[in-house]
Amino acid sequence: MLGALDVFAEAGIDRASVPVVERHINDPRNNVDAARQLLEANPELTAVLCSTDTMAFGVLEYARGKGLSVPGDLSVTGFDGIEPALAMGLSTVIQPNKEKGLNAGRMLASLLDDETAAKRVLLETTYNEGATIAAPRA
């Protein structure tokens, strides 16, 4: 989320004006509840950026229950690129999970061998346009 807030700040959007709802348990009921909390407190929102695809599923479920059109009334993005998200047309960032796991394993093995491990590895992501983003409603 911090990266997104940095981008907003670069665009001149005050971080304090961006509503954020955090959840540390990523399950369907909790995700729908987070969407309810966010959208009831901020009914003017036209877009929700989710840190996982499954959190985006919660926003989509809540929006559907409230009769909101996605993307007409509300744009929703995810992050992960899990198969169900891609199959349903979620706009999401696809992370290279296999490469991420391989790098994590190499870093741990390097530490176990008393070698210096890289503190950070930057992996390339791709964007799946999907069908859940549109221009903000007027």
The predicted-structure confidence for 35-59, as pLDDT tens digits, reads as follows 999 999 999 999 999 999 999 999 9
Pairing of strands 91-94, 126-128: antiparallel
Instruction: State residue 60's pLDDT score.
Output: 98
Domain boundaries, the chain: 2-128
Classify each residue of 32-58 as buried b or exposed e, where b means 16 or more C-beta atoms within 10 Å of its C-beta.
bebbbebbeeeeeeeebbbbbbbbbbb
Q: What is the DSSP letter of 131?
A: S
Instruction: State residue 3's pLDDT score.
Output: 83
Question: Whole-model pTM above 0.85?
Answer: yes
The predicted-structure confidence for 79-134, as pLDDT tens digits, reads as follows 999 999 999 999 999 999 999 999 999 888 888 887 776 778 899 999 999 999 99
Instruction: Classify domain 2-128 by CATH number.
Output: 3.40.50.2300
**2 band by pLDDT with thresholds 50, 70 and 90:** confident
Q: How far apart are CA 86 and CA 109, in angstroms?
A: 33
84 upstream amide cis, omega within 30 of 0: no
